[in-house]
Amino acid sequence: MSDLMQDGTLPGTEPVSDDAIMDDWASALAEQNGNETPVAASAGVFQPLSKAAAPSTRNDIDMILDIPVQMTVELGRTKIAIRNLLQLAQGSVVELDGLAGEPMDVLVNGCLIAQGEVVVVNDKFGIRLTDIITPSERIRKLNR
């Protein structure tokens, strides 16, 4: 930061106006779209929502179906002082706030989406979903 001059430029460079930057962006957009002449930055960049049709929406959803997300099943939580954390050893028991038999929380990227019960399938743990959180319930929990 100490290399910047008072006008916000680096030594040996000239200040660039906002209009020049917008012209560069308009030219780049025109080149990308195959147009010969640059279009105004505000003209036709976004399509009106009224033109959105159901078939194109399906194609948009297909684009994100292969994106990986982090799914977590949470048994419970607890707060522990660093002093007590450092005293933990093999065989130590840490008490969680979850109760035995209580549904486990299923989170996707940290957001609660469902609850379920633990099952064992072929010597591996799994979860049977018992309750799916509706989008309106998720929004209500975010507003708290």
104-122 pLDDT, tens digit per residue, is: 999 999 888 999 999 998 9
Same domain, 103 and 120: yes
Same domain, 57 and 99: no
Among 64, 85, 102, the domain boundary falls at 64
Statement: the pTM of the whole predicted model exceeds 0.75: no
What pLDDT shows up at residue 1? 47
What pLDDT shows up at residue 39? 47
* Structural domain contains residue 26: yes
Please provide the DSSP assignment of 109-120 as one string.
TTEEEEEEEEEE
Same domain, 130 and 81: yes
What pLDDT shows up at residue 136? 86
Give helix then strand counts, H and E, for the chain. Answer: 4, 4
Could you tell me which of 139, 118, 123 has the C-alpha nearest to residue 73? 118
If one counts the domains in the chain, the total is: 2
Same domain, 90 and 128: yes
Give per-residue pLDDT as tens, 1-27: 455 555 555 566 666 566 666 677 777
Same domain, 101 and 120: yes
User: 28 is in which domain, residue-wise?
Assistant: 18-64
Q: Can you list the alpha helix ranges (DSSP code H) found in the chain?
A: 18-33, 54-64, 82-86, 135-142
* Structural domain contains residue 10: no
